Structures are given as C-alpha cells and as structure tokens.
C-alpha cells in the first residue's frame, strides 16, 4: 500500500491533469507554447514576492502569472512580434524572480523545489488548492468551449458568429495563470509548460475530435503522473522531472499512431 505522502502526490498530480489536459489542447492548437513558458517563468517572481510580503504563495503566483499573461496578450495585440515579446518577458521575469529570491535566505534554499517541483511534499491543504483550482479551470473551459473552439479556428469566423476573440483569449489567459499557480509546487516553474504541451501532443496523434483530444490529454497526463511517481520511487529520481520524462515516453510511443490514422 502507498505511503500517505505518495498517495497525496498521486492525487495532486491527477487533479492537476484535469486542468492541464483540456487547457494544454488549446495551447497546442493555438501554438501558445511560448506563451505558457512566459507565464510559468513569471511564477518564480510571484513566489519571491510572496515570501517577501509574507502572503500566500498561490495568490502571489496567480497575481504575477495573470499580470504576465495579460501583458503579453495586450502587447501582441498592438502589433509587436509575438515571439520577441514572449522571449523578452519570459527570460526577464525569470531573471528578476531569481534575483529577488537570492535576497531571501529561506527561499534560496528551497529554490530548486519551486523550479522543478516537489510533489512529494504536497499537503492536504495543497490538495484542496490543486483540485479546487483545476475544477475552476475546467468549469471555465467547459463554459466557453464552443466559443474557444470557434475563435481557435478563425478570428473572423468567431466574429461572424457574434463572438469576441479577445474575450475568448482572455478566458484562456486567466485559465493558464490559474493552472500555473496551482501547479508550481507540483512540477515547478520550468516544467509546467511541458506538462501542458506533451500530453496534448501525444493525444493528438490518435484522436479525431477536439473533445477526444482534451480527454486523451487528461488520460495521458494521469498515466504520466503515475508512471513518473513509480519511476521516482524505484530509481530515486526527482518526481517532477520524472513525470515529464514519463509524458515524453508516452509521446514517443504515440508517434506511430499518426501514421496509421
């Protein structure tokens, strides 16, 4: 039987995949991988500010991640080159976060956990935050599902259908910021984007509908979490990177499915 800490880790990882699966599908469809990176890197600055002001890490991370996501969305909408904006903001936010963390001795010791995750240290309170946050993200995506799909296909088609593409983009922006906030303790700032993208990319090989891809990405995420935790236990490897490595292994196994489809 699993120890309590391993059970909590598995439940936290599984809870997170209910958000990363559907959201990661939109990240893949919209080619927002770098957008996810920028938001995730900003999370370290949120962690540093939370420790400095003695506030909740989840709230601090959410605030900074949301500010980063909104900034990127607004700048890209004004004609700035998207890849340049994302590159500047992503690396700048990470650098400022690391510099800010270096001034706080307690955070400096635990910085690796925030960069790469520490899912084995998840508490019952963390579980409530993860499952609650994932439920909110899933509800948001379900609420705007058709509008998000339409605007993903084509902005002009969305406007012809009476939709505002900017509103749909904002829904994704908020959902991404919330996902980053609840997942930073599990897989860390440097691996969040990987957990969003890799399961969705693996599911894409074998499905033929958006709904099936969202469900498939969630399934791949669950398998990756359980396989990664097993590998971490067996080989004494870091849990967060092990989960991402397991997701990559599943992705490689999925590649032949595309050729048969």
Q: How far apart are CA 180 and CA 191, in angstroms?
A: 10
Residue of higher predicted confidence among 212 and 81: 212
DSSP string, 154-210: -HHHHHHTT--HHHHHHHHHHHHHHHHHHHHHHH-TTTHHHHHHHHHHHHHTT-SSH
pLDDT at 216: 96
Domains of the chain: 4-260 (1.10.3470.10)
What's the pTM? 0.91
Q: How far is CA 26 from CA 31, 194, 238, in A?
A: 8, 14, 28
Query: Which tokens is 123 given?
Result: 């508490």
**pLDDT tens-place string over residues 183-208:** 988 888 889 989 999 999 999 988 88
Q: How far apart are CA 230 and CA 236, in angstroms?
A: 10
**pLDDT tens-place string over residues 5-17:** 899 999 999 999 9
Are 229 and 6 spatial neighbours (Cβ–Cβ below 8 Å)? yes
Query: Which tokens is 209 given?
Result: 């509908």
**pLDDT tens-place string over residues 57-110:** 888 899 998 888 788 777 765 655 667 777 788 888 889 888 888 887 666 557
Average pLDDT of span 37-61: 87
pLDDT at 225: 96
Helix axes 82-102, 33-53, angle to 10 degrees: 20
Cα dihedral 174, 134, 21, 91, rounded to 10, equals: 50
What number of other Cβ atoms are within 10 A of residue 46's Cβ? 31
**pLDDT tens-place string over residues 115-154:** 888 899 999 999 999 999 999 999 999 999 999 999 998 8
242 pLDDT tier (thresholds 50, 70, 90): very high
């Amino acid at each position: 039987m699993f120890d309590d800490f391993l059970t909590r880790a598995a439940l936290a990882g599984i809870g997170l995949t209910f958000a990363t699966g559907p959201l990661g599908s939109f990240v893949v469809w919209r080619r927002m991988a770098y957008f996810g990176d920028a938001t995730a890197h900003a999370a370290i600055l949120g962690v540093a500010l939370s420790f400095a002001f003695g506030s909740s890490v989840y709230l601090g991370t959410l605030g900074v991640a949301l500010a980063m996501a909104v900034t990127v969305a607004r700048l890209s909408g004004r004609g700035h080159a998207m890849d340049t904006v994302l590159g500047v903001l992503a690396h700048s936010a990470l650098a400022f976060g690391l510099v800010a963390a270096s001034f706080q001795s307690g955070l400096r010791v635990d910085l690796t956990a925030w960069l790469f995750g520490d899912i084995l240290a998840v508490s019952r309170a963390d579980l409530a935050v993860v499952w609650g946050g994932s439920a909110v993200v899933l509800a948001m995506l379900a609420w705007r599902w058709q509008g998000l799909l339409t605007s993903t296909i084509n902005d002009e088609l969305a406007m012809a259908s009476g939709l505002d593409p900017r509103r749909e983009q904002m829904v994704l922006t908020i959902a991404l910021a919330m996902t980053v906030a609840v997942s930073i303790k599990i897989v860390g700032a440097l691996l969040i984007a990987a957990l969003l993208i890799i399961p969705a990319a693996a599911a894409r090989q074998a499905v033929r509908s958006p709904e099936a891809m969202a469900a498939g990405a969630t399934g791949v995420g669950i398998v990756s979490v359980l396989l990664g935790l097993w590998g971490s236990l067996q080989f004494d490897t870091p849990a967060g990177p092990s989960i991402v490595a397991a997701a990559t292994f599943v992705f490689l196994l999925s590649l032949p499915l595309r050729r048969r489809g």
